[in-house]
Amino acid sequence: DAKTTQPPSMDCAEGRAANLPCNHSTISGNEYVYWYRQIHSQGPQYIIHGLKNNETNEMASLIITEDRKSSTLILPHATLRDTAVYYCIVRVAGAGSYQLTFGKGTKLSVIP
Amino acid sequence: DVKVTQSSRYLVKRTGEKVFLECVQDMDHENMFWYRQDPGLGLRLIYFSYDVKMKEKGDIPEGYSVSREKKERFSLILESASTNQTSMYLCASSSSGQGLNTEAFFGQGTRLTVV
């Protein structure tokens, strides 16, 4: 699986959009981009994933660049409960693709 | 809702003890994973399994073994616990489907302290 690079930490004002970047310059054509977050003392929680099109769900939006070498997770209106470590992962989905490897993530602090 | 349940939230064991960490999932997922998490190091994959009785080493398998006798259950075994195995242990499961519905679901974690 391709590796990812994320900033170690970010701050965001409550109510503003939080934009979390991720670089994955060695991503392969069949690898998806996944985002998870981990709130203190809990297990990681799935947020969203995509292949090449932008995706949106009730939690967040995922913007993937046209060359797929980077992506941005957007939390449109950050709240204090969004304070967490956010992990960007790329992996092949489907039969034969089992390993899910996490990097160090970005620690997002939402400031009142 | 998918549930991944780890048998203990907190454990304290002595050096040299054999330790079993149990994980059960209720969504008929093919894949199951064991991670450990330490401050400043993020999540590190210990072992994973893609089917009953099948297992693959992750990034840090030394000092650990695993067992998957039934699809829903994945056990992590510390044959002889050492203090450097004090950590948060996280179990996860996922489907092997294509694209959609392949996200991983995590348990709440077991905080193991070896004294």
- What pLDDT does residue B39 have? 86
Chain A contact present for B33, CB below 8 A: yes
Q: Which two tokens stand for residue B111?
A: 């905080």
Are the C-beta atoms of residues A41 and B90 closer than 8 Å to each other? no
Mean pLDDT by runs of 10 across the 112 residues of chain A is: 86 97 92 91 90 93 96 96 94 64 89 96
Closest Cα in chain A to B31: A98
- Over 70: is that where the pLDDT of B2 sits? no
Residue indicated by tokens 């034969």 = A96
The reply to whether residue B42 touches residue A102, judged by beta carbons under 8 angstroms, is yes
The reply to whether residue B105 touches residue A46, judged by beta carbons under 8 angstroms, is yes
Are the C-beta atoms of residues A72 and A21 closer than 8 Å to each other? yes
Rounded to whole angstroms, the Cα distance separating A104 from A107 reads: 9
- Over 80: is that where the pLDDT of B83 sits? yes
In the three-class reduction of DSSP (H, G, I as helix; E, B as strand; rest coil), residue A34 is classed as: strand
- What pLDDT does residue A42 have? 87
Average pLDDT taken over every residue of chain B: 91
Q: For B84-113, what is each residue's pLDDT tens digit? A: 999 999 999 988 765 556 788 999 999 999
